[in-house]
Amino acid sequence: MAEPEIDGWEYTGYTPRDGRSWVCSAYVAAIYKAGGLFGDMDVNSTEFGPADVYELNFFDEHFDRPQACIEADPDLPYCQLLGNYRMRLPHYNTVDPYPNMNEKCGRVWPDYARADGC
| DSSP letter assigned to residue 22 | -
Q: Are 114 and 50 in contact (CB under 8 A)?
A: no
**Chain segment 4-17, per-residue pLDDT in tens:** 888 877 777 667 66
pLDDT at 6: 81
- Alpha carbon dihedral 93, 95, 100, 105, in 10-degree steps, equals -110
Cβ-based neighbour number of residue 4 at 10 Å? 13
How many Å separate Cα 7 from the centre of its chain? 15
Which pTM value belongs to this model?
0.80
**Chain segment 92-111, per-residue pLDDT in tens:** 999 999 999 988 877 777 87
Instruction: Say which amino acid occupies 63.
Output: F
Residue 53's alpha-carbon distances to 3, 15, 45, 108, in angstroms, are: 20, 30, 10, 17
Q: Are 79 and 72 in contact (CB under 8 A)?
A: yes
| DSSP letter assigned to residue 46 | G
Which of 29-33, 40-44, 81-85, 94-98 comes out lowest in average pLDDT?
81-85
